[in-house]
Amino acid sequence: MRIVFFGCDDFAAVNLKRLLDDGHQLAALVTQPDKPKGRGMHTAFSPTKELAVSRAIEVLQPQDLKAPAIIEQLKRYGADVFVVVAYGKFLPEVILQIPKYFCVNVHPSLLPRYRGAAPINWAVINGDAETGVTLIRVNASMDGGDILAQEKYPLPPDITSAVLRERLAVFGAQMLSRTLPGIPSGKFELLTQDSAFATRAPKLHKELGAIQWTDTARRIHDLVRGTQPWPGAYTFLRGSMLKILQAEAGDIAVSGRGPGEIVELHKDGFYVQAGDGPVLIKRVHPAGGRAMDARSFLAGHKLAVGERLGT
């Protein structure tokens, strides 16, 4: 098939590479304008642009998708479908009408659940037992298009959103590979989403990572898993931020301690009281330092039972 691909990040790049490996004809890549990154603020290509340049694929980076010149250029490609993966902008109706068939979006959730920017993170933060990937025919509503394909993916209780993201990128690319060949022949069935069951997955913000020790131990464990790699779960110890990289609901009984208090030092870390029991902290990243296991952290920071973490 002849395809124009819209996408930016590493998740999108996995899908773009699969299309190339499958032998599809990539007419062009549409990605976001280059942005400065890092301490030196050097201009960096998006992962999809890096791949496209390496394969001699034409790259478009429009500021305005409604600009007449962009619309005319997209029409000239004569694409069968547009594939949209983590592009970060809404496609206007005039663009949705350009491809021969339609625009396909790869969304990492079981739509209509988790419409929005961060479906992978919210599935983990909320402690879901499963998630999945949905391919939809793009329309003017946010992630509200008709379902072209959908498959479930089980969530192990300790998986982080960072690891899940890598796995769903491959999972979604495989779905895309199986689904696209059926479009020209009409070998597909579209299912209308029931918006009554829709939930949102809004963009993450820094404050989301602040641990509330009054929450249950399980919710804190899920927050730690679901906010990786950004914004990360964090608390404060002796006035300095302490990022919590790995934690689990504790299996010890404690009484007489309030939320946020250190209740026991352990060979694998230290226990902190949550709203319904202790949380075992196993890996941390102190301010100004490096990430380390909690046992190493304890060797350099003499914590005491009864000491409190929090804002």
Judgement on whether residues 189 and 219 belong to the same structural domain of the protein: no
Query: Would the pTM count as exceeding 0.85?
Result: yes
pLDDT for 42 beyond 90: no
Residue 307 lies in a domain: no
- Amino acid found at 65: L
- Rounded Cα gap, residues 155 and 164, in angstroms: 8
- Rounded Cα gap, residues 285 and 230, in angstroms: 13
Judgement on whether residues 223 and 166 belong to the same structural domain of the protein: no
The pLDDT score that the predictor gives to residue 40 is 65
Judgement on whether residues 169 and 72 belong to the same structural domain of the protein: yes
Angle, helices 10-21 vs 47-54, to 10°: value is: 30
Residue 172 lies in a domain: yes
DSSP strand pairing (278-286 vs 103-107): unpaired
CB atoms within 10 A of CB 251: 10
**pLDDT class of 308 with cuts at 50, 70, 90:** very high
Residue 308 lies in a domain: no
- Rounded Cα gap, residues 74 and 68, in angstroms: 10
Judgement on whether residues 35 and 153 belong to the same structural domain of the protein: yes
pLDDT, one tens digit per residue, over 185-242 is 999 999 999 999 999 999 999 999 999 999 999 999 999 999 999 999 999 999 999 9
CATH number for position 265: 3.10.25.10
Residue 311 lies in a domain: no
The pLDDT score that the predictor gives to residue 44 is 87
CA 223 to chain centre: 14
pLDDT, one tens digit per residue, over 145-180 is 999 999 999 999 999 999 999 999 999 999 999 999
Averaged pLDDT for residues 92-117: 98
Averaged pLDDT for residues 23-34: 97
Residue 210 lies in a domain: yes
CATH number for position 140: 3.40.50.170
Domain boundary among 167, 197, 227: 197
Judgement on whether residues 24 and 124 belong to the same structural domain of the protein: yes
Judgement on whether residues 61 and 189 belong to the same structural domain of the protein: yes
Averaged pLDDT for residues 241-253: 94
Average pLDDT over the chain reads: 96
Judgement on whether residues 65 and 191 belong to the same structural domain of the protein: yes
Handedness of CA 180, 99, 201, 61 (dihedral sign): positive
- Rounded Cα gap, residues 110 and 113, in angstroms: 6
Q: Which domain holds residue 161?
A: 2-197
pLDDT for 37 beyond 90: no
Domain boundary among 197, 217, 243: 197
pLDDT for 36 beyond 70: yes
Residue 305 lies in a domain: no
Averaged pLDDT for residues 290-298: 97
| Tally of domains in the chain | 2
pLDDT for 311 beyond 80: no
Q: Which phi and psi angles does 134 have, rounded to 5°?
A: -125, 135
Residue 25 lies in a domain: yes
- Of all residues in the chain, what percent carry a pLDDT higher than 90? 94
Judgement on whether residues 179 and 210 belong to the same structural domain of the protein: no
Judgement on whether residues 212 and 277 belong to the same structural domain of the protein: yes
The pLDDT score that the predictor gives to residue 174 is 98
Averaged pLDDT for residues 16-36: 96
Judgement on whether residues 69 and 182 belong to the same structural domain of the protein: yes
The pLDDT score that the predictor gives to residue 43 is 82
pLDDT for 39 beyond 70: no
Judgement on whether residues 104 and 253 belong to the same structural domain of the protein: no
Judgement on whether residues 178 and 289 belong to the same structural domain of the protein: no
92 contacts 63 by C-beta, under 8 angstroms: no
Residue carrying the six token digits 């000239």: 76
Domain boundary among 154, 172, 197: 197
The pLDDT score that the predictor gives to residue 251 is 87
pLDDT for 38 beyond 80: no
- Of all residues in the chain, what percent carry a pLDDT higher than 70? 99
Classify burial at 245, counting beta carbons within 10 Å of its beta carbon; exposed 0-12, middle 13-18, buried 19 or more: buried
Residue 296 lies in a domain: yes
CB atoms within 10 A of CB 206: 11
